[in-house]
């Protein structure tokens, strides 16, 4: 477990704040984030790239809470966004427009116009129709759109099928062998300044080999395109850097920086990166209460108040999140199935997990839940949503309150013609 969360006198503590106290004040389920852990991780990446012109644009999709964005922005991070909503979040959290990139395969006219009006750093275009749309909107509004073209390098990222993005059949980017023709076409479009190339091959990549393969391909193209007269000045190398959920190797930012330095040798250009998970995953836990211990003939279940509605990663990607008790005891550990409250068989966090005897009212945390946790939570089954708390050197604040059922349906409407409650007779 990352330094920021550790046991003191057998009680789990985050930056000096006992998780038990947070549960008593805020209730459960609650996401708890350590500011120090996320900022330390960002600084580790920044330090590894000292001397290279590199900007880290935090991928908001991993955790777009305003407090999280602000904490990272205070340390110099920019923002990688995929919608107008995320651009608005980045701006609201204080990220300067000149540090915001806008990616995504489905930018609407409204979103493109908004991004241009806000004066963001660059749009990452994913197709020819998108380039043409950006050109039309930019020239009609008197803007010159800074655009990077997303290259699909056709490589296997060696990660989960559902989070691989850089293979030929994936929907992302343009095929690398079509880039020369597309750039020549883009050059003829008004309102566009082709400023660079972009790549992102997937998420939770723990090995540097796929990066080496993809970057090698993209950087060779970058050099060739410059020789062909394109004035490319930026290389956006995406995100995808893996974290430790179980026994993965932790991502070595220094080795990675050395790899990038080698591949970009002699290339005078600015580097952008879009790390999401790597900055926030290990900086967050999901704090949850045991509702029941249920013993059947052949299994023991620990039924939590957090479920797939709170953290969907295990159900969706077979992801592993370590479960640990908030109070550590020396008692013998038992194999239990840790499950959530949702009426679906897939609502399982882990089977046969070894935990000390726990019962109703006890607290546990699911580790490394700071990325793709709260942002992917849903109102499914209308259970109260998770609260979010940021801890910072002994201080803490609720950075998003829990939404109860009334708040979840407050904006729903019954149309007037259904308003009467009279019974319809059947047969």
Counting contacts by CB under 6 A, is residue 163 touching ligand LLP? yes
Stretch that binds ligand LLP, among 83-91, 132-140, 183-191, 270-278 (CB under 6 A): 270-278
Contact 58, 69 (CB under 8 A): yes
CA distance to 12, 100, 373, per residue, from 311 (Å): 20, 28, 5
Using CB under 6 A as the binding criterion, the count of chain residues that bind ligand LLP stands at 22
Least distance to ligand LLP, CB of residue 85, Å: 16
Least distance to ligand LLP, CB of residue 278, Å: 6
Catalytic residues: 343
* CB of 35 or CB of 150, closer to ligand LLP: 150
Least distance to ligand LLP, CB of residue 236, Å: 9
Least distance to ligand LLP, CB of residue 237, Å: 10
Stretch that binds ligand LLP, among 3-11, 58-66, 86-94, 136-144 (CB under 6 A): 58-66
Query: Which burial class, exposed, middle or buried, applies to 216 when counting CB atoms under 10 A from its CB (0-12, 13-18, 19+)?
Result: middle
* CB of 56 or CB of 396, closer to ligand LLP: 56
Binders of ligand LLP in range 294-333 (CB under 6 A): 313, 317
C-alpha distance across the termini of the chain, in Å: 63
Among 13, 59, 326, 364, binds ligand LLP (CB under 6 A): 59
Least distance to ligand LLP, CB of residue 365, Å: 18
Stretch that binds ligand LLP, among 112-120, 197-205, 256-264, 413-421 (CB under 6 A): 197-205
Q: Which two tokens stand for residue 227?
A: 């020789």
Query: Which burial class, exposed, middle or buried, applies to 223 when counting CB atoms under 10 A from its CB (0-12, 13-18, 19+)?
Result: middle
Q: What are phi and psi of 165, to 5 degrees?
A: -130, -5
Beta strands 387-392 and 395-400 are antiparallel
Least distance to ligand LLP, CB of residue 124, Å: 7
Counting contacts by CB under 6 A, is residue 372 touching ligand LLP? yes
Counting contacts by CB under 6 A, is residue 99 touching ligand LLP? no
Counting contacts by CB under 6 A, is residue 276 touching ligand LLP? yes
Stretch that binds ligand LLP, among 238-246, 255-263, 292-300, 384-392 (CB under 6 A): 238-246
Q: What gap in Å lies between CA 250 and CA 269, rounded to an integer? A: 28
Q: Where are the alpha helices (DSSP H) in 94-190?
A: 109-118, 128-140, 179-187
Stretch that binds ligand LLP, among 32-40, 196-204, 213-221, 248-256 (CB under 6 A): 196-204
Q: What gap in Å lies between CA 341 and CA 48, rounded to an integer? A: 43
Q: What gap in Å lies between CA 2 and CA 41, rounded to an integer? A: 10
Size of the chain, expressed as the number of residues it contains: 427
413 Cβ neighbours under 8 A, 6+ residues apart: none
Counting contacts by CB under 6 A, is residue 203 touching ligand LLP? yes
Counting contacts by CB under 6 A, is residue 125 touching ligand LLP? no
**DSSP code per residue over 28-81:** SSEEEEEHHHHHHHHHHHHHHTTTS-EEEEEEGGG---HHHHHHHHHTT-EEEE
Task: State the residues that interact with ligand LLP by CB under 6 A.
Answer: 59, 61-62, 80, 103, 163, 165, 200, 203-204, 238-241, 274-278, 313, 317, 372
């Amino acid at each position: 477990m990352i330094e920021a969360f550790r046991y003191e006198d057998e009680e789990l503590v985050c930056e000096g704040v006992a998780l038990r106290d947070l549960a008593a004040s805020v209730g459960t389920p609650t996401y708890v984030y350590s500011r120090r852990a996320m900022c330390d991780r960002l600084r580790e990446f920044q330090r590894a790239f000292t001397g290279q012109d590199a900007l880290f644009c935090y991928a908001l999709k991993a955790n777009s809470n305003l407090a999280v964005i602000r904490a990272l922005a205070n340390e110099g991070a920019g923002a990688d966004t995929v919608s107008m909503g995320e651009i608005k979040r980045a701006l609201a959290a204080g990220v300067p427009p000149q540090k915001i990139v806008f990616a995504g395969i489905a930018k609407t006219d409204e979103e493109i116009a908004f991004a241009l009006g806000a004066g963001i750093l660059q749009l990452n275009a994913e197709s020819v129709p998108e380039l043409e749309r950006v050109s039309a909107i930019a020239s009609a509004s008197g803007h010159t759109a800074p655009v990077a073209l997303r290259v699909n390098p056709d490589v296997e990222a060696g990660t989960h099928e559902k989070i691989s993005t850089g293979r030929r059949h994936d929907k992302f980017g343009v095929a690398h062998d079509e880039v020369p023709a597309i750039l020549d076409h883009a050059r003829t479009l008004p309102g566009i300044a082709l400023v660079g190339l972009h790549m992102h091959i997937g998420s939770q990549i723990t090995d540097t080999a796929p990066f080496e393969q993809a970057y090698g391909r993209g950087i060779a193209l970058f050099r060739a395109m410059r020789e062909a007269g394109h004035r490319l000045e930026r290389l956006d190398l995406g995100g995808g850097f893996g974290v430790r959920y179980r026994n993965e190797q932790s991502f070595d930012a220094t080795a990675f920086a050395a790899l990038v330095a080698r591949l970009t040798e002699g290339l005078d250009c600015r580097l952008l990166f879009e790390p999401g998970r790597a900055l926030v995953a290990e900086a967050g836990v999901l704090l949850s209460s045991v509702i029941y211990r249920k013993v059947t003939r052949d299994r023991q279940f620990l039924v939590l108040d957090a479920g797939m509605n709170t953290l969907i990663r295990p159900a969706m990607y077979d992801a592993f999140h370590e479960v640990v008790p908030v109070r550590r005891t020396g008692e013998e550990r038992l194999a239990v199935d840790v499950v959530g409250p949702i009426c679906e068989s897939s609502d399982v966090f882990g089977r046969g997990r070894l935990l000390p005897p726990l019962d109703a009212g006890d607290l546990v945390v699911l580790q490394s839940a700071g990325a793709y946790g709260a942002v992917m939570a849903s109102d499914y089954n209308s259970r109260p949503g998770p609260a979010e708390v940021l801890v910072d050197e002994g201080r803490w604040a609720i950075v998003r309150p829990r939404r109860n059922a009334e708040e979840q349906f407050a904006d729903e409407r019954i149309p007037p013609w259904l308003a009467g409650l009279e019974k319809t007779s059947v047969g």
